[in-house]
Amino acid sequence: MSQQLLYLKNLKPDHTNKSEVAVIKEAESIFSSLDKALRWMTKPKKQFSGMTPLDMIQRGQRDQVSQLLTKINQGSW
């Protein structure tokens, strides 16, 4: 299990970055599974120059992650 996936699985609502939680919930809704959402969050994406969605969020680029999730949800990706 990757360090990032382990980190996400151990998040506690009162100890987390609200941006991370919001995007995880958005991804869970789109992928219909928390496990799938967490895996997606921790896999490098070419759209993010090889960074993971979690990396992007932690660098203050939550909007880019949400935009990609929206495209996936709309079937335009």
Residue 44's pLDDT is what?
97
Residue 30's pLDDT is what?
96
Q: In this structure, which amino acid lies at residue 50?
A: G
What tokens does 35 get?
């496990």
Residue 9's pLDDT is what?
63
Residue 3's pLDDT is what?
66
Is residue 64 within 8 Å of 48, Cβ to Cβ?
A: yes
Q: What is the pLDDT along the chain (77 residues), one digit of tens a residue?
A: 566 656 666 665 554 567 788 898 999 999 999 899 999 999 999 999 999 998 998 898 999 999 999 999 999 86
Rounded Cα distance between 52 and 14, Å, is 23
Residue ranges making up the domain that contains 68: 3-74
Query: Within 10 Å of residue 59's Cβ, how many Cβ atoms?
Result: 11
Q: How many domains does the chain have?
A: 1
